[in-house]
Structure 1
Amino acid sequence: MEPKFLQKNTRSAEHSFFCKYAEVPHTYDQFHYHKEFELLYTLENKGTRFIGDSINSFAFKDLVLIGPGLPHHWQSDKEYYEDNPLLIAKVVLVHFELDFVGSDFFNIPEMKNVKTMLSKANRGIHFSIEHAVKLESIMLGLAGKSNWRQVIDLIEILCEMAEKPYTLLASEGFSDSYHGSNNEERITGIYNYMIKNHDGNISLNNIASYANMNPAAFCRYFKKATSKTFSDSLNDIRVGIACKKLINTELSIAEIGYACGYQSISYFNRQFKKVKKINPSEYRLKYLLTKHPTT
């Protein structure tokens, strides 16, 4: 299921970004991506949320931030396609580019937290319902504002979001590059090395040598920097890349497993299920079924 690229037009003579409140029978049901950030607040709607390789149910008061290039869609439940006037999807949708307030705005010290949050949005970010509800009034008012007031309100929303805990949705391997919680050059380089060489035999000695550490020191450093073991992180990356292949190619499960560095298909199935809670065949089927949402 190759995601569709959508060309957006977020800027005009009157506005530096796009924002609207919408009431529709159901949300847009094609797996797609675009070059803009997307902020979607779902006031009313229920279904399944697909963000990269993340598959989760969603319901009322769902707030998500998506970075440029990350495939996504919200699949409303079947009953939303049955012309029931009592079931309406109500959302606030915002599309903006990183430089909508100037190329250097998010580099100022006061925007440090927002800049960090935006750098992680390439994996998709979900906010708690408690946080979403606190932002509801300003989100609803955003579409009705104009001039500088609308810009100020969006900046306030981003600042509030950046100061609260949030959850990353897509796995590390699904994105083309890693933007983790620790932005040090060394840990970023380690993740990029694992992504680039995911299809080979990356041993602890290999990765420790790459990082110029002995294995014991590397394990301590990596666990402190990422809160995960090296083996768990490597598996997350391989599963994320496998998800991309399951979605975008017609390769067999076995071909994908071997291409992602697994030497045994049974081991691939076990490790995939450990991360995604379903096996690769079930995962692929979930995505394929979204091509026919009304059936």
Structure 2
Amino acid sequence: MKNLDLRKPLEFTVPAHGDGAFYVMEDIGTDFYGYYHRHREFQLSYIVKGRGSLVLGNLVRPCSENEVFLIKPNDPHLFYKAESDAEETTVHIVHLFFSLEKLSSFFEMEELHGIRSLFYNIPSSKVLSAENGAAIRDLFLRLHREEGVPKLLHILTLFEFLHSQESQLISLYSGLHKVDFHDSDGLRINSVVKYAIENYKRTVSIEEVSTLVHMTPTAFCKFFKKRTKKTFVSFLNEIRIEKACQLLLNNRVESISEAAYQCGFNTAVHFNRVFKNVMAVSPTVFVAQHAVAK
């Protein structure tokens, strides 16, 4: 994975730029935006090309082309690319940011009450499957090229589509009941998350991670558990299992044992136990299930 420290974030809370009520950002490059961050705006993201994983709060889950993510305000998140034999593989993602504060009077219109309920009553961030999301691919691709009324009409069409698909939206519970930590805490978590992603293939000790954020091992363990609701070891293992799933699904390893060793597990027995704890099935069953699905 490339060095993510080339772009220094000013803060953990990153405001969406732009003076309008809606701001569109299109990212095309060799990786997704590489920082665990949050913002006060809703984020609607469409993955046009590429695959990888999403860290949302303390949740780690896969993400792939044509999936649509609706991320609640202040839900900390980070997309990161799947490892590939070709490091230059391009990712393409379109984001739409919008502030409910700016749009409060807009959503008071009687015609928008159904859409309003989708955003104002949402209990958690959501994802729409690639199967359903593919229908609005062209709308997202055209967003960045539109301005004024045409742009607004496209956005309303997107909102209406999401409203019509509300029963198909899958909840992404971030694991954080309330994101009440300060930006300084968020920057520490960002450093830890990036470090885990970059070093999951080897043994990572609590001592080296605590040193990274200038804390004692005991203080770090308490800090991380309080703010993510899980231990660092559990979080690291979830990243490893997600990476192992990518290897197994894409036939990039010859055996389950090879996937285990490539993802930082010293023994296949330990890998099998952690895999079943995270995925609720054994690696063998997981591979068989997805072989049938194909």
**Which category of TM-score, normalised to the shorter sequence, fits these structures?**
0.5 to 0.7
- Could you report, residue by residue, the CA deviation over 1:152-199 in whole angstroms, capped at 9, with x for unpaired residues? 21121012102212011025x62429xxxxxxxxxxxxxxxxxxxxxx
Partner SS state of residue 48, structure 1: strand
TM-score (norm 1): 0.56
Q: Which amino acid is the alignment partner of residue 250 of structure 1?
A: F
Partner SS state of residue 21, structure 2: coil
Partner SS state of residue 84, structure 2: helix
| In structure 1, C-alpha distance between the alignment counterparts of 2:176 and 2:111, rounded to whole Å | 31
- Could you report, residue by residue, the CA deviation over 1:29-55 in whole angstroms, capped at 9, with x for unpaired residues? 211001111111001111111122321
| In structure 1, C-alpha distance between the alignment counterparts of 2:31 and 2:23, rounded to whole Å | 20
Q: Give the aligned partner of residue 16 of structure 2.
A: 8
Q: Which amino acid is the alignment partner of residue 235 of structure 2?
A: Y
Alpha-carbon distance, 1:251 to partner? 3.1
| In structure 2, C-alpha distance between the alignment counterparts of 1:21 and 1:160, rounded to whole Å | 21
Q: Which runs of 5+ in 2 are unaligned?
A: 1-10, 180-218, 243-263, 265-294
Partner SS state of residue 220, structure 2: coil
> CA 1:289–1:26 in 2, change beyond 3 Å: closer, same or farther?
farther
Q: Give the aligned partner of residue 117 of structure 2.
A: 116
- Could you report, residue by residue, the CA deviation over 1:119-163 in whole angstroms, capped at 9, with x for unpaired residues? 355621101212211111111111111111101211210121022
| In structure 2, C-alpha distance between the alignment counterparts of 1:161 and 1:256, rounded to whole Å | 35
| In structure 2, C-alpha distance between the alignment counterparts of 1:89 and 1:288, rounded to whole Å | 21
> CA 1:124–1:132 in 2, change beyond 3 Å: closer, same or farther?
same
My pick for the range that moved more, 106-115 or 33-42, is 106-115
| In structure 1, C-alpha distance between the alignment counterparts of 2:78 and 2:225, rounded to whole Å | 24
Partner SS state of residue 168, structure 1: strand
Alpha-carbon distance, 1:280 to partner? 7.1
Contact 1:20–1:143 under 8 Å retained in 2: yes
Q: Which runs of 5+ in 1 are unaligned?
A: 178-248, 261-271, 273-278
| In structure 1, C-alpha distance between the alignment counterparts of 2:126 and 2:87, rounded to whole Å | 31
State yes or no: 1:166 paired with 2:169: yes
Q: Give the aligned partner of residue 133 of structure 1.
A: 134
Q: Give the aligned partner of residue 281 of structure 2.
A: none
> CA 1:51–1:44 in 2, change beyond 3 Å: closer, same or farther?
same
Q: Which residues of 2 match residues 76-225 of structure 1 at below 5 A?
A: 76-79=81-84, 83-84=87-88, 87-100=89-102, 102-121=103-122, 123-164=124-165, 165-171=168-174, 174-176=176-178
Alpha-carbon distance, 1:28 to partner? 0.9
Q: Give the aligned partner of residue 44 of structure 1.
A: 49
Alpha-carbon distance, 1:284 to partner? 4.8
| In structure 2, C-alpha distance between the alignment counterparts of 1:120 and 1:149, rounded to whole Å | 28
Partner SS state of residue 159, structure 1: helix
Q: Aligned to 2:76, which of 61, 64, 71? A: 71
Contact 1:52–1:123 under 8 Å retained in 2: no
- Could you report, residue by residue, the CA deviation over 1:212-240 in whole angstroms, capped at 9, with x for unpaired residues? xxxxxxxxxxxxxxxxxxxxxxxxxxxxx
Partner SS state of residue 221, structure 2: coil
| In structure 1, C-alpha distance between the alignment counterparts of 2:128 and 2:51, rounded to whole Å | 16
Aligned length: 190
| In structure 2, C-alpha distance between the alignment counterparts of 1:25 and 1:145, rounded to whole Å | 25
| In structure 2, C-alpha distance between the alignment counterparts of 1:256 and 1:142, rounded to whole Å | 40
> CA 1:108–1:153 in 2, change beyond 3 Å: closer, same or farther?
same
Contact 2:16–2:23 under 8 Å retained in 1: no
State yes or no: 1:27 paired with 2:32: yes
| In structure 1, C-alpha distance between the alignment counterparts of 2:115 and 2:64, rounded to whole Å | 26
Contact 1:51–1:71 under 8 Å retained in 2: yes
TM-score (norm 2): 0.56
Query: How much is the aligned-residue C-alpha RMSD, in angstroms?
Result: 3.3
